[in-house]
Structure 1
Amino acid sequence: MAVTTPLPSSEYPLPGAMNPGLTTSEAARRLLESGRNEIRREAARPRWRLFLDQFRSPMIALLIAASVASFLMGERADAIAIGIIVVLNALVGFAQEFKAEQAMQALRSMTAPRARVLRDGYPIDLPAAEIVPGDVLLLEAGDIVAADAQLLEAYSLATSEAPLTGESAPVDKSIRPTPEGTPLAQRTDRVFMGTAVSRGTGTAVVTATGMRTELGQIAHLLASAEDTETPLQQRLNRVTQALLIVCGGIVLLVAALGLLRGMGWLPVLLSSISLAVAAVPEGLPAVVTIALALGVRRMASRHALVRRLQAVETLGSATVVCTDKTGTLTTGSMAVRELWGSDEEALLRTAASCCDASLGPEGKEGTGDPTELALLRAALERGIQREQIERENPRVAVQPFDSERKRMSVLRADGVLSVKGAPEVLLSRCTSGTEGALAKAEAMASRGLRVLAVARGSGPEEERLQLLGLMGMADPPRPEAIEAVAAARAAGIRTVMITGDHPVTALAIGRELGIVREGDDPSELIHARVTAEEKLRIVRRWKERGEVVAMTGDGVNDAPALREAHIGIAMGRTGTEVTREAADIVLTDDNFATIVAAIREGRAIYENIRKTLVYLLVGNVGELLLMVIALLMGQPLPLVPLQLLWINLMTDSLPALALVMDPARLELLQAPPRRPDEPMLGGAQWRTIFAAGALEAAVVLGVFLWADPAAHLERARSLAFSTLVFAELLRSFIARSSTRIFWEVGVFTNRVLLGVILVSVLIQGALYEIPAVRTLFELVPLPWNEMVLMFALGLIPVTALELAKLVRRWIRLRRAG
């Protein structure tokens, strides 16, 4: 057991000297019996596991199989090149996820590192992990409660239970027992692990520790919540399955054609596997990883830490965002929203005179009850400072606030009594100023405001008071959250508020934020007074409807729902460690507007991945059609395996990596979200793939046949090789949009792509000039005028595809007009 330090007994008087706490020996025995007072944390994935997880993809498995097949065929250059792609892809993914894990380690902190308890009749300070059932906790403002406990004494005690229940306002505590089965947020006779003491003092006997606490029970729910495969993973897996079927079909088709033509089984096998390798877009895994990694970098600049690469795109697929209220949609601190009274300055001065809280420098932060801090900030805006009041007119007597009296009063040296409290209590003690006050208080409360009445009198008695007015307080919405909710609605995304707050308060904030509008069903979009189990059920219900669900939260009670959702988003500033570990993304600014910005980023990533996949598959289809048609015509293969690999790796993959860097379109959030069942490649994309691929194949095959392969095979292959390379490089310019012409997109808006194309064209020309390379690729020298001709022929497919865009646009305009 760790060394403990006795505290001065005068600092913490014993609770009536009735409960001296446990003896040291008994505490040691109970610690062995009940275990340490800790919440079990999810272990970080070891580095080797992080690395191996990068290979859990059907596409990676397909590439590994292609690499092994190439090696067995003797095509070792092909096998090594594919292997390098696979390893580089894994390293990029590992680096990103490892960095996120390290960042999460830095965010970890103990919930309550130390606590004060009675042992052997004396107050001592000891590590919170050594608290045991039966210990007597000594509580005061600012403490983090170290375990679940039953109150023995409570003096104006209130705790902030937002991490556990979602309730934004402090909960007043008393020793009066609550009935069995009382909801967690209303158990006023107990304090709970992980909550904070906002005011007052008290003592409590520990009833549960560690995983047996309410916080621990919520942590248990994480085991029942399931990790969900992301929409991007599902769509890419379907594409990979389709490619596997295509590859298998190609192998069988070519094998059958070869055998029918009397070819030997070994040449047939080599040709079949070469074509199957050509069908695989080797650059796709790297493209996806780079796209997600770029999203991670952009998200980091927008105050979001991404723990899992796939999470960025998944957020772009979201159709429902379930969000906590306090601190995410609201500022997380109470503020005076409304004043009612004939003399607002007198109202604020009297309220500030009746406070125990203290503001920090320049009115920021501060210590004490959040409600008092809010009214002190409102007073400071009028130039009224509590410190100045204390200096000029010292206190004579104080009657503190408690849950029984529901009011506080301060008598000062000038004989004036300042009183604040609940309207229903204070109004009955006022003899003037009350006209219309009760109706006004009810109207304020109906709008979700917490109402305080303020009065003054003469002498120490709280009777025959003059009501100065009412103060309506609430945790106000973030201004940027209102805009973000509107942007989400415009993007077809439903915002669902899930909070532990009072239903009236939740609905009022929901209407102010624009979550609930005319014609909406509030029961669908606002859920108040919910428990951790209910949050989990709400997320599951939305998922059962086929929605892609994002869930945000900061409290431990949010963690199971975060794990269950397609994407979990935790608050980095106010969030608990358990919540952050359950999340895919951690917001460092706790701001709902950041989520909407991330949705736009996610949509851009998906759009870039899809258009890049189309670009890659057009090239693969063109190569396949070229080879298969040549075989059907009885011609030799127009390209050798190494030429195919060069096209796939250099002239396909490099432009593809540049394509995923395209900036996000401004209008992305003006479109509805993708349907959850929408495939990565729909009918329009497949039509483009086959039409463009066939066009490329026709042009290249024409060049190959024109060059007379029967007489000059290497020259014909050299011409066909360059034509196909130039056609695919030029096509990358128009692949950036399926509807806009390349100059409308802007040639210089993606300078990386422009640089890649220029460099690739120069490298392609250099292949014919270096003898050793020329021999490796089975090429012959080509004069510059033939290279220019091949470049011009490569423009034919590009020009045809751009004209098709204009024709489709003209047809749409005709139909609309």
Structure 2
Amino acid sequence: MQELGHADRGADLRQELEAAPELPRRRIGDVGIVGIATGMVGGVVDVMERDDAHDRQRREPPQLHHATEHAGAIERVDQTLALTERRLAQCHHEDSPIDHCKQSTCPRQEQTCGCITSNAFGRLQCGVQGFWQCRSARPARPVAPIAALAGFVGADRVDSEPAAALRGTAYETATGMATLVRTPGVAENRPRMSEIERGPAVALTPPPLSPGATGLSSAEAARRLGEVGANELDRGDGTSAWRILAGQLTSPIVLLMLGAALISGILREVADAIAIAAIVVLNAVVGFLQEYRAERAVLALRSMTAPRARVLRDGRAATVAAREVVPGDVLLLEAGDIVAADAALVEAHALRASEAALTGESTPVDKLATPASADAALAERHDRVLLGTSIAAGTGRAVVTATGMATELGRIARLLETAEDEPTPLQRRLAQVSRMLLYATVAIVAVFAAAGLVRGAAAFDVFLSAVSLAVAAVPEGLPAIVTIALAIGVHRMVVRNALVRKLPAVETLGCATVICTDKTGTLTTGAMAVRELWGPDHEALLDAAAACCDAELGADLRGGIGDPTELAILAEAALRDIQRDAIERERPRALVEPFDPATKRMAIRRGDGIWYVKGALEAVAPSCTAGLTGAHEAAIQLAARGLRVLAVAVGDAPDALVLRGLIGVADPPRPEAIEAVAAARAAGIRTVMITGDHPATAQVIARELGILRPGDSAAELVHARATPEDKLRIVRAWKARGAIVAMTGDGVNDAPALREAHVGVAMGRTGTEVTREVADIVLADDNFASIVAAIREGRGIFDNIRKALVYLLSGNVAELAVMLIASLAGLPLPLLPLQLLWINLVTDGLPALALVMDPTEADAMNRPPRPPAEPILGRPEWHAIAVTGVLLTAVTVAVFAWALATSDLVRARSLAFAVLVFGQLFRSFASRSTTRVFWQVGAFSNLVLLAVVTVSVVLQLVIHNVPATGALFDIAALAPGDAALCLGLGIVPVTVVEVAKLLRHRGA
């Protein structure tokens, strides 16, 4: 593999690196001219020596690792340049460009310049730095060809540690030099000079940030800290606690209830005022806690960053507060570290980083000090380490390129701030109902008061009647009913492994039309497994593969320590009775060649003298002398199926191997996820896969799961290599099309999209603290099937809230109508404010609570999602409210008028009160369905409703017949005949409604 002329990549990195404060430019000095000439001489000598080595390498068999030395050439170059370097070391106080450096700036002193003098490239760099102030100045254009020559000569030096620190790194790339990245052991990759000469000529521009061996000085770090600010994420303005609390008290229905409580207090109706105020306070507290929790999302992002960092300061390793890290610092990385800033690697020794939180990659990724492609996705930038990620293995050094809000994590924090919360469908629908009730109540009360004043009634009596009417119009129990209904949904979802953090999400999930979901661990098992074996002898293949593994498998064949692919191989081998322990006992290790990302292979020589090699086929095949027939075609087929393909070979010598076969591994789909995707499709819900995986792998898994079927658009349903911005755009695009979107995620990169979606679903096991803070729902088992099960429960909750709302409003309609008719007829008030409050809170409230406990209907997932614009009360619901309201009004007004004509006002009010209460209670059975009679729904399927109605009837009889409560409610005791009359009239409305249902059903 070779990469020539990283000019574009250099330009991108230069923009990042030059964001740091820039030092003044310097003129070219005589020392620079001498250095350039010296570099050219050294380069010619080095080229000659390397060509000799190249010819030898072509005649020699390939090795498992590259360890070619050029000591002879370096020694001759050292002798040639010794005098020049001594002159350079002596002149830094004589030449003004160097004299102006703030620190010791002799090009030979690596503390400041980071100069490398072990090869021609390093000498050219040191020579040129004689006329720059180490890192800041830019040369004239005529030196561009020399820059290209230097890139050719020094690109593949790996035997010197300083050279390796710069070769193929962001530092070298930032200079704009043409470079050659050479794969060790593959001689054919060596280009001729003509190939280099055809590459672009670019100016040699030392980057403003040097990854030299000593990093920054304390003074320079302090200066940069003052200019760029602390390395920490902004807290953001957020929403204050007082604003959140005030928002709970501004809905129309709450304002109406507060007004009713205030007026009741003025009229010294203390019980009424306290009861209404208590309901308002309870709901405000619940809502406040929900929203305040969501505001902690950015604080959770801050907790991901490292508190301390190891850097090079003043030539020594030092531990500093992470907030003091600045662009240009050199981070010292080792296993277990949390990366303190975004940085470009200059050294990497078996370095692996866990980036799942930012990129979605479930396994640690290899990190190299060679530059990645300029347009590489975030998950493929192997030359970068990112703030908030952790080092899984190895060591390295990296030059900080961005800190604080300029990092990838900071970018996600800004996206998180731009993602907006919006009312849920249920909240919008309830707001519509609340506004309607507010307007209707104000209009009715105004008409009522005007009519009373026109008739000449006393102003105080009119005011008292208006307050009673307002209390009758407001369903005080509605906020509590909705809250409790959602709380019941929370409990039901817990059983389904879905933990609800924000109550409205319970119902919102029920009307979801699109689920945007991650792949790894949600749709798949999250663990690699062997899915295909290719070769003449599968047992021998697995034996050889197991003999070439370093991982330690868990006792139950699940989990373990080590590489996930090796764990999958060992698990498959164990299932075939090939035990790793037996291999170690019978064939102990003699030599181990660890896996090298550059060679893409690893090898183990065991006590039997046999070499066991595994890796990518293109890395293993050149060392194989047999077994290759059909291997390349098989590898292509396996890869096309989304499998990771490993070749396994054995032999007496590392260059004389026999290919045992190929192993295809992948993260398999969850069986229950396949069923869940099918259930979601049957319910009219689209499943969209968003993953950081390779597009081919993503499409294969999507087809296996049933997400992608013949005729479906892969571009619409499968999104691979998605960035945080991509995910946010996808969610917004679906929302713009009118979809109700549920979004799942586990990493920080998912957080903006989770917050933007109508319902954000975080993973409980693998999810980060950030996603859990942002999410509305957390899946305890990280299972897609749990989402679909929760959707079913959400649909049931909405149905039950609708039943309760119809039940409550039909009672309020009856109360209003009774009060209006009596007023217009010139009759006394049939019901007093406290009696109305009792009906709304107890007689109506308790059965409404029981209604929201109804089990989810069996066909909940066999119907399409509700349209987002569909009101919570449609034509069938309003029809039911009107019919039952009229029936209740009729029997209540009739008994009140009859009792008033035959006895006193107290008895008339008592009978009207009891009839309305009993009528409401019995009607609750009819409210369970608008189309089926209650025994068809299941008379005993909601035992809570039966118990509540029974208890409420008893309570009503008690308050009538206990003197103390009778005096409180201003009612008389019910004689047995009166009680029977009230019970009989109360049954009339429900009987009429149920008979009408039967007649409609038969007519249909």
Same fold? TM cut 0.5: yes
Cα pair 2:690 2:719 within 8 Å, conserved = yes
Q: Which residue of 2 aligns with 1:532?
A: 724
Q: Is the 8 A contact 1:96 1:293 kept in 2?
A: no
Task: Find 1:676's aligned residue among 868, 876, 890.
Answer: 868
- Whether 1:730 and 2:949 are equivalent positions in the alignment is no
The answer to whether the 8 A contact 1:100-1:306 is kept is no
Matches of 2:634 and 2:251 in 1, distance apart? 63
1:409 partner amino acid: A
Tell me the number of residue pairs that the alignment of Structure 1 and Structure 2 aligns. 798
Counterpart-to-counterpart distance in 2, 1:505 and 1:347: 24
Deviations 1:162-181, CA, capped at 9 Å, x for gaps: 32223445543322223544
**In 2 relative to 1, CA 355–129 (structure 1 residues): closer, same or farther, beyond 3 Å?**
farther
Q: CA deviation at 1:753?
A: 2.4
State the partner residue of 2:538. Answer: 344
Deviations 1:513-536 (A, max 9, x none): 111122222211111111111111
554, 562, 566: which one aligns with 1:368: 562
- Of 602, 615, 618, the residue aligned with 1:424 is 618
Question: For 1:745, which of 937, 946, 967 is the aligned residue?
Answer: 937
Report how far residue 540 of structure 1 moved: 0.6
Candidates 236, 239, 247, aligned match of 2:441: 247
Aligned counterpart, 1:815 = none
8 Å contact kept, 1:228–1:565:
no
Unaligned runs of 5+ in 2: 1-159, 166-211
Which residue in 2 is equivalent to 1:189? 383
Which sits farther off after the overlay, 125-134 or 597-606? 125-134
What are the within-5 Å matches in structure 2 for residues 278-293 of structure 1? 278-293=472-487
Instruction: Give the SS at the match of 1:400.
Output: strand
1:510 matched residue in structure 2: 702
Q: Once structures 1 and 2 are overlaid, which stretch shifts more, 783-792 or 360-369?
A: 360-369
Conserved in 1, the CA contact under 8 Å of 2:297 and 2:773?
A: no
Query: Is 2:711 the counterpart of 1:519?
Result: yes
| Stretch moving more, 519-528 or 17-26 | 17-26
Using structure 1 for the length normalisation, give the TM-score: 0.91
1:358 corresponds to 2:549: no
SS at match of 2:940: helix
The answer to whether the Cα contact below 8 Å between 1:251 and 1:276 also exists between their aligned partners in 2 is yes
1:568 and 2:784 are equivalent in the alignment? no
Q: Is 2:356 the partner of 1:162?
A: yes
Distance 1:195 1:472, change over 3 A: farther
Moved more, 578-587 or 381-390: 381-390
Work out which of the residue numbers 48, 55, 59 in structure 1 matches 2:253.
Answer: 59
Supply the AA of the counterpart residue of 2:701: I
How much has 1:652 moved relative to structure 2? 0.8
Q: Which residue does 2:950 correspond to in 1? A: 758
2-side partners of 1:230 and 1:662: how far apart?
23
Indicate conservation of the 8 Å contact 2:304/2:388, yes or no.
no
In the other structure, the counterpart of 1:5 is none
Are 1:212 and 2:406 matched, yes or no?
A: yes
Query: In the alignment, is residue 149 of structure 1 matched against residue 338 of structure 2?
Result: no
How far the C-alpha of 1:578 sits from its partner, in A, is 2.6
For structure 1, which runs of at least 5 residues remain unmatched after alignment? 1-12, 813-817
Does 2:258 align with 1:258? no
Q: Within 1, Cα distance between the matches of 2:969 and 2:795? A: 40
Distance 1:356 1:32, change over 3 A: farther
Q: 1:615 to 1:694 in 2, by over 3 A?
A: same
Determine if contact 2:880/2:930 at 8 Å carries over to the other structure: no
Give the aligned partner of residue 897 of structure 2. 705
Q: Which of residues 791, 796, 799 in structure 2 aligns to 1:604? A: 796
Aligned to 1:303: 497
TM-score normalised over the length of structure 2 = 0.75
Q: Is the 8 A contact 1:630 1:638 kept in 2?
A: yes
Q: Distance in 2 between matches of 1:92 and 1:165?
A: 35
Distance 2:914 2:251 in 1: 33
Cα distance in 2, alignment partners of residues 571 and 44 from structure 1: 25
Q: CA RMSD in A?
A: 2.9
| Contact 2:232–2:404 (Cα < 8 Å) also in 1 | yes
Q: In 2, Cα distance between the equivalents of 1:61 and 1:261?
A: 30
Aligned to 1:10: none
1:365 is displaced (CA, Å) by: 3.0
One-letter code aligned to 1:173: K
Residues 37 and 100 of structure 1, relative CA distance in 2, 3 Å threshold = closer
Match status 1:500 vs 2:692: yes
Match of 2:995 among 778, 803, 806: 803
Q: Which range moves more in the overlay, 550-559 or 89-98?
A: 89-98
- Match of 2:978? 786
The one of 727, 732, 745 aligned to 1:553: 745
Deviations 1:264-322 (A, max 9, x none): 44333332332122111000011011112222233334333322221211111211111
Mapping of residues 374-453 of structure 1, within 5 Å: 374-453=568-647
Deviations 1:605-654 (A, max 9, x none): 21111110100001011111222223333333322222222211221112
How far is the alpha carbon of 1:152 from its aligned partner?
1.5
| CA distance in 1: counterparts of 2:245 and 2:453, whole angstroms | 43
CA contact (8 A) 1:165 1:557 kept: yes
Asked if structure 2 preserves the Cα contact closer than 8 Å seen for 1:41 and 1:578, the reply is no
After superposition, the Cα gap between the structure-2 partners of 1:778 and 1:571, relative to the gap in structure 1 and judged at 3 Å, is same
Task: Give deviations 1:762-802, integer Å, cap 9, x for gaps.
Answer: 12112222223323323223211220121011101011111
CA contact (8 A) 1:108 1:577 kept: no
Tell me which of 317, 321, 327 is aligned to 1:133: 327
- Paired with 1:792 and 1:693, the residues of 2 have a C-alpha distance of 17
The 8 Å contact of residues 876 and 930 in structure 2, kept in 1 or not, is answered as no
Say which is worse superposed, 124-133 or 252-261, in terms of deviation.
124-133
Q: Post-superposition shift, 1:338?
A: 1.2
CA distance in 2, matches of 1:529, 1:222: 20
What secondary structure is seen at the aligned counterpart in 1 of 2:672? helix
- Bigger mean CA offset, 631-640 vs 604-613: 631-640
Aligned to 2:513, which of 309, 319, 322? 319
Q: Which amino acid aligns with 2:282?
A: L
Residues 519 and 795 of structure 1: CA distance in aligned 2, closer, same or farther (over 3 Å): same
SS at match of 1:411: strand
Deviation of 1:704 after TM superposition, in Å, equals: 1.8
Other-structure match for 2:883: 691
Q: Answer whether contact 1:100 1:307 (CA < 8 A) is retained.
A: no
TM-superposed CA distance for 1:748, in Å, is: 3.4
The CA deviation at 1:564 is: 1.0
Question: Deviation of residue 323 (structure 1)?
Answer: 0.9
User: Once the 2 structures are TM-superposed, how far is the Cα of residue 726 of structure 1 from its aligned partner?
Assistant: 0.6
Post-superposition CA distance 1:143-200 (Å, at most 9, x none): 5433222111223434343322234455433222235444323322222223344554
SS in 1 for 2:561: coil
**1-side partners of 2:320 and 2:679: how far apart?**
50
Match of 2:680?
A: 488
2:188 alignment counterpart? none
The correspondence of residues 81-96 of structure 1 with structure 2, limited to 5 A, is 81-93=275-287
Q: What corresponds to 2:18 in structure 1?
A: none
Higher alpha-carbon deviation: 173-182 or 370-379 = 173-182
CA apart distance, 1:725: 0.8
- Aligned pair 1:177/2:349, yes or no? no
Residue in structure 2 matched with residue 6 of structure 1 by the alignment:
none
Q: Distance in 2 between matches of 1:433 and 1:415?
A: 20
* CA spacing shift, 1:372–1:204, aligned 2, 3 Å: farther
2:525 pairs, out of 319, 331, 346, with 331
Deviations 1:339-392 (A, max 9, x none): 111211211121122223333444443333322232222223223344443343
AA matched with 1:306: V
Partner in structure 2 of residue 652 of structure 1:
844
Say if 1:88 and 1:169 are closer, same or farther in 2 by CA, change over 3 A.
Answer: closer
SS at match of 1:600: helix
Higher mean C-alpha displacement, 169-178 vs 415-424: 169-178
Seq. identity, %: 62
Q: 1:97 to 1:733 in 2, by over 3 A?
A: farther
TM-aligned CA distance change 1:168 to 1:414, over 3 Å: same
Moved more, 245-254 or 491-500: 245-254
